[in-house]
Amino acid sequence: MFGIRFIKVQPGTYLLQYQNGKIVREGTGVSFFYYAPTTSLVAIPTASNEVPFIFEETTVDFQKVTIQGQITYRVADPKKLAALMDYTLDARGQGYSSDDPEKLPQRLINIVNVQARAQIQKLPLRQAVRESDALVEALRPRLISSPEIAALGLEIIGFSVLAIKPTPETARALEAETREQLLKEADEAIFRRRNAAVENERAIKENEFNTENAVELKKRQIRETKMDADRAVQEKQRLLREAEMAASVALEQKKKELVELTATNARAESDARAYGIEATMKALGSADARTLQALANAGMNPEQLIAVAFQEMAGRADKIGQLNISPDLLRELMGKREG
């Protein structure tokens, strides 16, 4: 009543109170009473805002593309913005008295549009539709350092390009061309795959042949090694047989020498015995028979002497008329023989 009102703003709103063209109170999240007829209130939101954008541009090859994205900003210097745009609240303090707050996002979009146009017009269509990340990297520093944005007291927090699309007709043409290129690449891939399969098959065959050759070579080496081993064994066996034959020859030679020596010794011994017998026979030939008999009987046992006596009696049996031998003599002779 009587023009006195109360206002309270959120912490995300910067409020300036003007009286007679001068700032008498300012700050974020403030609340106070004021006299409406002599007071002007300027409320500037300082929280971050996201502004989506979409616009068309022309590439260097005169093809239209649609750029879609968003920019995130905040009011860093509320006084600058208040000096350039009208953020004055209406008499009730419930809304703005002008549409300038609604124009701020469009101003940012226009700045982005100008910067993007300078970049897109340097690129051909095929490259432009693939350069969204490059466009972001090129525009972000320009927007951050833009004098127009700095003059408005704004700070760019984020910038992104969601898509760069050609017109539907151009997109269908590109799709058809790309499709043909993909089909061609698919045919080439099939051709390369078949060639690779043939090459792999040839490599497999070569490996099989090389393996067979290596196996045959190894078999031949094994056979040659075995033959060399057999030859070495045969050579050793031949040397062993030669050694055995040499030993046998040497042994036979020794046997021959031994036989010759034995024969010589036997012949000498026979000669010696013959000479002794001859000398004995010469001596006996000139001796008396009775003397020889006596010599032969010398050293005989009584039994042998009795046997000789019986032998002489048997030789003269024609001259003996009667011979009586007592049983006691026979028993005595037989007893000695048995004993």
Q: How far are the Cα atoms of 34, 63, 123, 173, 243 from residue 55, in angstroms, in the given order?
A: 44, 14, 17, 21, 112
List domains and CATH numbers for the chain.
4-166 (3.30.479.30), 289-338 (no CATH)
Eight-state DSSP code of residue 101: H
pLDDT value at 82 more than 80: yes
pLDDT value at 51 more than 70: yes
More confident residue, 316 or 182: 182
Of the pLDDT bands very low, low, confident and very high (cuts 50, 70, 90), residue 257 is: confident
Least-confidence region, from 95-109, 112-126, 165-179: 165-179
Residue whose pair of structure tokens reads 């004995």 in the numeric block: 280
pLDDT tens figures, 190-214: 988 898 888 888 889 888 889 888 8
Nearest CA to 225 out of 213, 241, 233, 240 is that of: 233
Q: Does residue 185 contact residue 91 with C-beta atoms inside 8 Å?
A: no
pLDDT tens figures, 215-237: 998 898 999 999 999 989 999 99
pLDDT value at 81 more than 80: yes
Of the pLDDT bands very low, low, confident and very high (cuts 50, 70, 90), residue 66 is: very high
Least-confidence region, from 16-30, 67-81, 308-322: 308-322
Residue 294's pLDDT is what? 64
Nearest CA to 171 out of 289, 66, 315, 30 is that of: 66
Residue 148's pLDDT is what? 92
Residue whose pair of structure tokens reads 């002794």 in the numeric block: 276
Which helix (H) or strand (E) is 161 found in, with range? strand 154-166
Residue 43's pLDDT is what? 92
Least-confidence region, from 6-10, 153-157, 306-310: 306-310
